[in-house]
């Protein structure tokens, strides 16, 4: 029996960072402490992720000759290294075979067809002439082949081929191989890893036995995706080793995560990769006290916990990144709360339309860890809760109860918090308009038109964005610290699709960790955090009706709510309609058919038609907002900013007429034919990954 030591790795590669990628590849073959399958430990086959030399996310850079030139330079450098001597490396040593992909991915966020073409000659190869500086005299093979050595045979695939529904056909010519190597770049999706591991463990090579080496990328390589690692070694359908997921390091272990844990860890890890590679020095979040911004705050809190955990495990690279970001070469985080105070600044931006509940909620966050509680109230009304040395002064009973319940959550996070009032800025802008036209717009409740009402709301929202960026740029300067902060957005997918957001308001940010999640998913996540972290205040936040707080209060109480007053549709309904649009890929008519069936008689066809028409009409009117939407962490298939027009006939005359005919019972034969087509589509979708 011949024994071959093999290994896979999950490297945190970065698109177009050729030097950094080269260093990480060499480290994977030389660091005994980090990789038990290094050359020094006797490994003979090393499999890395797809496109690990240049990075998977190069996109249009793949069309540049420089990208190929520099990639070959890196390969030449690796070949000259002593670390890969005697090893079969996907990109190193004497080049024996260049294996092109027989299938490329063009769905679920993949756009490989824009940069690559497939190899359509199964079982065939041709000669490939290498660049002169490779200094290899023989000509390698290019094409579909299996490498057969004296005592072992090795087959290769890319992740797109392996996960393709016809992957078994693609493997058929290689079924006699002993070792199957898969280089992949599979981004993180909620619940996606369970399907992935099932495919890897019980996939096509498993039918024939042997060893499967599946390598997946780790980290954010420059775009909206986060690759969660989880490279796996399978021997005869049994997982024998795996790299960790959502980790700052590559640890050999097998872990499966719940959807909520996957949300928490994936979004936090993506934020960290963005922060450390962006050159900024922390995060700035406009904190309203609602579900969306609270979810983002929980994500940052989770990130700080992960970083402290990595530092405690001795990850020197993580500690060095933290020290560089906080600009303190001797800094070592004491705990997650203390680190959060260094990295995270939040700000409540009050207007005269802000409720006492949300104001007290934000005031409870006014804590500067290590110096007790301090007040950062700037120009706020007298009824705000003022916190000085941990004591409430001059506040009503409502504010006290809110501070006690909701405040615990924010004290648990311990960000550096600012509480300011922007009424003077709003008044200044309206004075400019009044000076030009000698007319002052009024809210609807004061007798104004709907366009006046909307314009007055948008002034507040857009000024919050301007002030947010001012504070993000200068907060550290005011503290005599270097650098600036990344602005975090907190717009969810539902509101983006419906257009229930102001263009260039606080939804406009540098990055948004929740932009691909529905309000329903965010609520579930907050419920999870309430239990896991014992944040008692989250229960109150979850129960508080969502509101923009941009219209005047009535007797100090809210009159404006998202679902009743503004959107005309509930978040649960909006979540379902979002799924029908994508990943379901249903248009208005098929969405109506699906939504009607899902209602199970709880709503009449005419009521369902009103909801569907309202959704698509609002979607079409506001689609232009997605042209400037903030880049978001892409962990679901909802994708509000996918490739669709931004200018529609908002009346959808043909589509809506088909819905009306269906409601009225006309043309039943035509609709029965359409339902048959819909069933065929559903059956086809059930076989897709």
Higher pLDDT, 95 or 71: 71
DSSP letter for each residue of 365-403: T-B-TTS-B---EES--TTS-EEETTEEES--HHHHHHH
Higher pLDDT, 437 or 636: 437
pLDDT of 483 strictly over 90: yes
Question: Does CATH number 3.60.110.10 belong to domain 6-257?
Answer: yes
pLDDT of 486 strictly over 90: yes
pLDDT of 426 strictly over 90: yes
Does residue 8 contact residue 214 with C-beta atoms inside 8 Å?
yes
Tell me the average pLDDT across 19-32.
79
pLDDT band at 595 (very low <50, low <70, confident <90, very high): very high
Highest mean pLDDT among 241-250, 453-462, 661-670: 453-462
Which of 144-148, 192-196, 470-474, 577-581 bottoms out in mean pLDDT, i.e. has the lowest?
192-196
Q: Could you give the CA distance from residue 57 to residue 16 in angstroms, rounded to a whole number?
A: 8
The conformation of residue 354, written as its DSSP 8-state character, comes to -
Tell me the average pLDDT across 114-131.
84
pLDDT band at 607 (very low <50, low <70, confident <90, very high): very high
Give pLDDT tens digits for 540-581: 788 877 777 778 776 655 556 656 566 888 888 988 999 999
pLDDT of 72 strictly over 60: yes
Does residue 47 contact residue 255 with C-beta atoms inside 8 Å?
no
What mean pLDDT, rounded, does the chain reach? Answer: 78
Q: Largest alpha-carbon pair distance within the chain?
A: 93
Highest mean pLDDT among 203-207, 247-251, 263-267: 263-267
pLDDT of residue 557: 58
Tell me, letter by letter, the H, E, C secondary structure of 233-286: EEECCEEEEEECECCCCCCECCCCCCHHHHHHHHHHHHHHHHHHHHCCCCEEEE
Cis before residue 583, ω within 30 degrees of 0?
yes
Does residue 176 contact residue 205 with C-beta atoms inside 8 Å?
no
pLDDT of 464 strictly over 50: yes
Q: Is the pTM of this model over 0.75?
A: no
pLDDT band at 177 (very low <50, low <70, confident <90, very high): confident
Length of the chain counted residue by residue:
689
pLDDT of 663 strictly over 80: yes
pLDDT band at 328 (very low <50, low <70, confident <90, very high): very high
pLDDT of 651 strictly over 90: yes
Higher pLDDT, 205 or 636: 636
pLDDT of residue 280: 97
pLDDT of residue 97: 85
Burial string for 233-259 (b: 16+ CB within 10 Å, else e) reads bbeeeeeebbbbbbbbbbebeeeebee
Burial string for 603-627 (b: 16+ CB within 10 Å, else e) reads beeeebbbbbbbbbbbbbebbebbe
Q: Could you give the CA distance from residue 52 to residue 216 in angstroms, rounded to a whole number?
A: 10
Let me know if the fold of 6-257 is the same as that of 261-422+464-544: no
pLDDT of 100 strictly over 70: yes
Which of 57-66, 97-106, 309-318, 474-483 bottoms out in mean pLDDT, i.e. has the lowest?
97-106
Q: Could you give the CA distance from residue 375 to residue 364 in angstroms, rounded to a whole number?
A: 10
CATH class of the domain defined by 261-422+464-544:
alpha beta
pLDDT of residue 375: 29
Domain spans in the chain, listed from the N-terminal domain onward: 6-257, 261-422+464-544, 567-686
pLDDT of residue 173: 55
pLDDT of residue 475: 95
pLDDT of 445 strictly over 50: yes
pLDDT of residue 491: 93
Does residue 505 contact residue 464 with C-beta atoms inside 8 Å?
yes
pLDDT of 59 strictly over 90: no
DSSP letter for each residue of 182-251: EEE-----TTHHHHHHHHHHHSGGGGT-SEEEEEE-EE--SSS--EEB--EEEETTEEEEEBPBS-SS--
Which of 262-266, 291-295, 322-326, 618-622 bottoms out in mean pLDDT, i.e. has the lowest?
262-266
pLDDT of residue 387: 32
Which of 116-120, 219-223, 325-329, 681-685 bottoms out in mean pLDDT, i.e. has the lowest?
681-685
Q: Could you give the CA distance from residue 659 to residue 590 in angstroms, rounded to a whole number?
A: 9
pLDDT of 669 strictly over 70: no
């Amino acid at each position: 029996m011949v024994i071959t030591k093999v290994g896979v790795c999950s490297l945190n590669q970065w698109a177009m960072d050729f030097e950094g990628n080269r260093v990480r590849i060499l480290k994977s073959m030389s660091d005994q402490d980090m990789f038990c399958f290094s050359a020094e430990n006797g490994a003979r086959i090393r499999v890395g992720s797809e496109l690990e030399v240049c990075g998977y996310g190069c996109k249009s850079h793949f069309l540049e000759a420089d990208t190929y030139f520099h990639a070959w330079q890196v390969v030449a450098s690796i070949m000259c290294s002593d670390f890969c001597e005697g090893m079969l490396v996907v990109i190193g040593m004497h080049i024996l075979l260049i294996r092109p992909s027989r299938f490329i991915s063009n769905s679920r966020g993949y756009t490989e067809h824009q940069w690559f073409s497939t190899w359509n000659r199964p079982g065939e190869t041709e000669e490939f002439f290498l660049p002169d500086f490779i200094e290899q005299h023989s000509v390698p093979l290019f094409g579909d082949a299996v490498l057969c050595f004296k005592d072992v045979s090795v087959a290769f695939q890319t992740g797109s081929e392996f996960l393709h529904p016809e992957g078994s056909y693609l493997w058929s010519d290689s079924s006699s191989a002993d070792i199957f190597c898969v280089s992949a770049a599979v981004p993180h999706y909620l619940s996606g890893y369970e399907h992935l591991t099932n495919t890897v463990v019980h996939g096509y090579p498993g039918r024939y036995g042997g060893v499967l080496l599946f390598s997946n990328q780790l980290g954010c390589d420059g775009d909206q995706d986060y690759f969660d690692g989880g490279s796996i070694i399978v021997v005869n359908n049994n997982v024998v080793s795996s790299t960790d997921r959502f980790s700052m390091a590559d640890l050999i272990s097998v872990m499966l995560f719940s959807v909520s844990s996957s949300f928490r860890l994936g979004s936090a890890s993506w934020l960290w990769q963005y922060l450390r590679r962006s050159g900024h020095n922390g995060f700035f979040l406009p904190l309203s006290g609602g579900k969306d911004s609270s979810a983002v705050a929980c994500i940052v809190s989770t990130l700080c916990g992960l970083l402290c955990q990595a530092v405690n495990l001795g990850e020197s690279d993580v500690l060095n990144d933290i020290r560089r970001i906080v600009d303190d070469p001797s800094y070592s985080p004491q705990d997650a709360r203390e680190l959060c105070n260094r990295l995270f600044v939040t700000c409540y931006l009050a207007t005269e339309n802000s409720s006492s509940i949300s104001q007290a909620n934000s005031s409870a966050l006014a804590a500067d860890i290590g110096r007790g509680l301090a007040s950062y109230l700037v120009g706020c009304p007298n009824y705000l809760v003022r916190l000085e040395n941990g004591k409430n002064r001059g506040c009503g009973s409502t504010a006290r109860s809110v501070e006690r319940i909701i405040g615990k959550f924010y004290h648990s996070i311990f960000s550096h918090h600012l509480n300011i009032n922007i009424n003077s800025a709003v008044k200044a802008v309206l004075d400019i308009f009044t000076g030009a036209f000698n007319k002052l717009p009024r809210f609807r409740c004061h007798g104004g038109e709907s366009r006046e009402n909307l314009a007055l709301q948008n002034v507040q929202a857009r000024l919050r964005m301007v002030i947010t960026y001012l504070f993000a740029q200068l907060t550290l300067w005011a503290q005599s610290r270097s650098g600036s902060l990344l602005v975090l957005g907190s717009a969810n997918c539902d509101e983006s699709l419906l257009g229930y957001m102001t263009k260039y308001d606080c939804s406009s940010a540098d990055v948004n960790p929740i932009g691909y999640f529905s309000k329903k998913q965010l609520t579930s996540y907050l419920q999870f955090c309430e239990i896991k972290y014992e944040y008692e205040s989250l229960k109150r936040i979850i129960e508080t009706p969502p509101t923009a707080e941009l219209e005047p209060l009535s007797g100090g109480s809210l009159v404006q709510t998202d679902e009743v007053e503004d959107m005309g549709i509930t978040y649960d309904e909006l979540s379902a309609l979002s799924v029908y649009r994508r990943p379901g890929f249903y248009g208005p008519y098929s969405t109506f058919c699906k939504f009607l069936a899902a209602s199970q008689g709880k709503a009449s066809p005419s009521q369902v038609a009103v909801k569907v028409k309202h959704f698509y009409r609002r979607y079409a009117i506001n689609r232009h907002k997605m042209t400037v939407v903030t880049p978001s962490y892409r962990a679901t298939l909802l994708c509000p900013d996918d490739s669709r027009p931004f200018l529609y006939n908002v009346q959808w005359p043909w589509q809506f007429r088909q819905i009306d005919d269906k409601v009225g019972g006309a043309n039943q034969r035509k609709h029965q034919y359409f339902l048959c087509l819909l069933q065929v589509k559903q059956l086809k979708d059930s076989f897709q990954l």
